[in-house]
């Protein structure tokens, strides 16, 4: 993940000063452990200043409004208590080339600051610290004790100390090319590494784009650079320093990230605020998606393994109980041939009633024939009772397995992150598993779910233009089938295979072609556990024939009066959808 460097921070703060000073603080909301948003209002606009101290994605920019769920974090409560109604009157760096921003809050513009919020954008050491006018710490986002750091503890009630000052040489616009070149090439080495060693205020991403703009590979050794290479690179160096001096930047997307210098840009961005908001939202979502998908998959695999072992135990006991009649038949044979028994016998062979084939019956030598027959009758009754006890247990376990395999199939379908809806679909699955008591409540809060929204379903269009909606998890499957579906829609599902509910939306009197039905059947096959098969049996029926059993788990439905088609999931590859 590309970190916010000094250049990016300067570009972001320059825009914030231009567009958001002065502004009134109306609200503070903490999204998660690492992010707060502050509602700001100017005479022209209202927005949310997003401040993150995430160890990999610390940043500051105008972001999205917060979700409509309660904020239970104490840091945000302390901020709104102190800053509510005050004006943001200053956004200043604490020192040249430092990645620490001082947000200054006063009663009104022109007055001295009553409070400071220091935003430290410093990788894993990032922090946000609220102080009073005399710089006494009121609340740090991340408290650092004396035991954790003797160099710079950060604790409530203590004076705010700035981070250790930069010790390296700082870039200077007035430095000549000769002096600059001499400093960088003093010790031969890769040009990128030598620049990082020679000057403070640089980042790997900035130098990559700078060298790309100068058409110099980053691993080129300084002693192999030609005079024209040095000239081209110094021009880019000057261009960068002039941009910092004039606060004129060119935010753009690059192949692997972003730049505020325009170098290597493949697409321009509206401004630095949008660039940072979109980039870090997307990067953090991808990170959360991968972690959550792995956690859910691991949890389900563990639960299913235990349930399958339990089911196998029950099946073994049922197989044993299948021998109940055998014990009764042997007991009947023994009672019918009591005269053949002799004391001390360990086995008796008696012809079967029907086939007349010899049947060997094991005996307990210390019991007589009648007692042995009674033991066999008791074993018969025991096994019969076992069947009646085990069958409902097996049914219960198998129902649970079917449900969890349906959940597992939904996770398998969401195999990589593309949009925020992919993460939301996984979060809904986690919420469902928490609701079903398979997971404990997480420590952090989730986004609110909009029960009425259908924007997160997969959307397709049939060859005739009919809309197709597909649920991405059990919550969406239930919503799709029992809330969204209309009387004239057709409901599709892979037959007896875990998969998504698929809805073909139809208006009254609409005529559906065979190509449309086959198209939807292919989708139902593709969004099922049988995705890799050549052909998958798919049923479809009218919505009035689809029911949810009383007390059934999410995503479970029964149907009747169905028609079967053969879906071909491989034909869906490459067909575009929108979420």
- Residue-wise pLDDT for 479-515, tens only, equals 999 999 999 999 999 999 999 999 999 998 888 999 9
- On whether the CB atoms of residues 446 and 431 are closer than 8 A, the answer is yes
Residue 462 CB-half CA count within 13 A: 25
- Residue, of 550 and 14, whose pLDDT is higher: 14
CA distance 82 to 131: 10
Q: How confident is the model at residue 352 (pLDDT cuts 50, 70, 90)?
A: confident
- On whether the CB atoms of residues 431 and 552 are closer than 8 A, the answer is no
At how many degrees (to 10) do helices 369-413 and 272-321 cross?
160
Strand partners of residue 460: 468
Strands 536-542 and 87-93 come out as unpaired
Strand partners of residue 542: 490
- On whether the CB atoms of residues 411 and 300 are closer than 8 A, the answer is yes
Q: What confidence score (pLDDT) does residue 290 get?
A: 95
CA distance 104 to 94: 11
Domain ranges of the chain: 6-140, 177-269, 295-422, 458-572
Q: How confident is the model at residue 386 (pLDDT cuts 50, 70, 90)?
A: confident
* Interval 300-321 mean pLDDT: 89
Q: Which value, to the nearest 10 degrees, does the dihedral of the CA atoms of residues 269, 273, 275, 276 take?
A: 170
Whose CA is closest to 456, among 500, 515, 509? 500
CA distance 14 to 16: 5
Q: What confidence score (pLDDT) does residue 154 get?
A: 87
Look up tokens 């660039």; give the residue: 275
CA distance 564 to 538: 6
Strand partners of residue 136: 159
- The two tokens of residue 89 are 């009157």
* Interval 308-329 mean pLDDT: 83
Look up tokens 């008796």; give the residue: 348
Q: What confidence score (pLDDT) does residue 435 get?
A: 87
Look up tokens 């930047």; give the residue: 249
Residues of the chain with pLDDT > 90, as a percent, come to 70
pLDDT digits (tens, 9 = 90+) for 36-88: 999 999 999 999 999 999 999 999 999 999 988 889 899 999 999 999 999 99
Mean pLDDT of all residues belonging to the chain: 90
Long-range contacts of 45-49 (CB under 8 A, 24+ apart): 45/19, 47/20, 49/16, 49/20, 49/88
CA distance 305 to 310: 9
pLDDT digits (tens, 9 = 90+) for 192-244: 999 999 999 999 999 999 999 999 999 999 999 999 999 999 999 999 999 99
Look up tokens 């060859």; give the residue: 463
Q: How confident is the model at residue 577 (pLDDT cuts 50, 70, 90)?
A: low
- The two tokens of residue 225 are 């650079």
List strand residue ranges (DSSP E) for 133-290, in order. Answer: 137-140, 252-253, 258-259, 267-268
Q: What confidence score (pLDDT) does residue 147 get?
A: 67
Whose CA is closest to 247, among 50, 445, 9? 9
User: What would be the CATH architecture of the domain defined by 6-140?
Assistant: Roll (2.30)
* Interval 154-160 mean pLDDT: 91
- Residue, of 316 and 461, whose pLDDT is higher: 461
Does residue 435 have a cis peptide bond before it, meaning omega lies within 30 degrees of 0?
no
Can you give the length of the chain in residues? 579
Q: What confidence score (pLDDT) does residue 578 get?
A: 58
Burial group, residue 445, by CB count within 10 angstroms (0-12, 13-18, 19+) = middle
pLDDT at 370 over 50: yes
Q: Do 6-140 and 295-422 come out as alike in CATH topology?
A: no
Q: What confidence score (pLDDT) does residue 383 get?
A: 74
Q: What confidence score (pLDDT) does residue 451 get?
A: 46
* Interval 80-108 mean pLDDT: 95
* In CATH, 295-422 is 1.10.287: yes
* In CATH, 177-269 is 1.10.10: no
Q: Minimum mean pLDDT among 146-150, 273-277, 313-317: which range?
A: 146-150
Strand order of the β-sheet with 46-52 is 59-63, 46-52, 35-41, 23-32, 87-93, 100-106, 115-120, 127-132, 137-140
pLDDT at 151 over 70: no
pLDDT at 562 over 60: yes
SS in 3 state form for 164-177?
CCCCCECCCCCCCH
What pTM did the predictor assign? 0.77
pLDDT digits (tens, 9 = 90+) for 439-474: 887 544 444 444 444 448 999 999 999 999 999 999
**Helix (H, G, I), strand (E, B), or coil: what is residue 132?**
strand
């Amino acid at each position: 993940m590309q970190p916010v460097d000094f250049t990016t921070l300067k570009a972001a703060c320059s825009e914030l000063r231009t567009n958001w000073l002065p502004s009134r603080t109306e609200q503070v909301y903490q999204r998660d452990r690492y992010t707060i948003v502050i509602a700001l209002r100017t005479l022209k606009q209202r927005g949310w200043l997003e401040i993150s101290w995430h160890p990999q994605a610390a940043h500051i920019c105008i972001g999205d409004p917060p979700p409509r769920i309660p904020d239970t974090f104490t840091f945000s409560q302390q901020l709104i208590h102190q800053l509510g109604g005050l004006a943001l009157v200053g956004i200043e760096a604490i020192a040249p080339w430092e990645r620490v921003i001082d947000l200054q809050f006063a009663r009104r513009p022109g007055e001295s600051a009553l409070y400071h919020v220091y935003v430290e954008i410093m990788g894993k050491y990032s922090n946000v610290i609220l102080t009073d006018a005399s710089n006494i710490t009121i609340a740090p986002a991340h408290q650092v004790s004396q035991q954790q750091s003797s160099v710079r503890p950060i604790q409530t009630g203590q004076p705010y100390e700035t981070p250790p000052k930069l010790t390296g040489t700082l870039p200077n616009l007035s430095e000549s090319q000769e002096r600059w070149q001499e400093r960088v090439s003093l010790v031969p080495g890769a040009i990128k590494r030598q620049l990082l060693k020679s000057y403070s205020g640089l980042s790997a991403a900035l130098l990559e784009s700078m060298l790309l703009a100068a058409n110099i590979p980053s691993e080129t050794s300084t002693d192999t650079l030609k005079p024209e290479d040095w000239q081209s690179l110094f021009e880019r160096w000057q261009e960068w320093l002039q941009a910092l001096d004039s606060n004129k930047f060119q935010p753009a997307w690059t192949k692997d990230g972003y730049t505020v210098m325009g170098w290597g840009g493949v697409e321009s961005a509206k401004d630095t605020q949008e660039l940072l908001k979109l980039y870090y939202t997307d990067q953090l979502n991808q990170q959360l998606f991968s972690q959550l998908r792995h956690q859910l998959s691991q949890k389900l695999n563990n639960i299913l393994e235990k349930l399958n072992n339990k089911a196998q135990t029950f099946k073994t006991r049922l197989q044993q109980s299948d021998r109940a009649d055998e014990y009764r038949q042997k007991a009947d044979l023994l009672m019918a041939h009591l005269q053949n028994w002799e004391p001390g016998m360990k086995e008796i062979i008696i012809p079967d009633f029907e086939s007349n084939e010899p049947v060997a019956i094991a005996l307990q030598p210390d019991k007589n024939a009648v007692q042995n027959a009674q033991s066999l009758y008791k074993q018969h009754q025991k096994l019969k009772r076992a069947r009646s006890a085990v069958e409902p247990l097996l049914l219960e376990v198998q129902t649970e397995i079917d449900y969890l395999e349906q959940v597992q199939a939904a996770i398998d379908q969401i195999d990589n992150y593309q949009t925020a809806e992919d993460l939301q679909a996984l979060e809904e699955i986690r919420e469902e598993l928490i609701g079903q008591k398979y997971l404990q409540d997480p420590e952090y809060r989730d986004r609110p779910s909009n029960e009425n929204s259908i924007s997160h379903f997969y959307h397709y269009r049939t060859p005739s233009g009919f809309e197709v909606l597909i649920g991405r998890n059990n919550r969406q499957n239930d919503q799709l089938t029992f809330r969204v579906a209309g009387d004239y829609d057709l409901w599709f599902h892979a037959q007896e295979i875990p998969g998504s509910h698929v809805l073909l939306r139809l208006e009254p009197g609409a005529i559906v072609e065979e190509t449309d039905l086959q198209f939807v059947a292919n989708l139902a096959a593709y969004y099922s556990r049988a995705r890799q098969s050549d052909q998958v049996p798919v049923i479809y029926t009218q919505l009035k024939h689809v029911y949810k059993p009383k007390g059934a788990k999410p995503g479970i439905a029964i149907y009747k009066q169905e028609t079967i088609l053969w879906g071909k999931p491989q034909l869906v590859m490459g067909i575009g959808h929108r979420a």
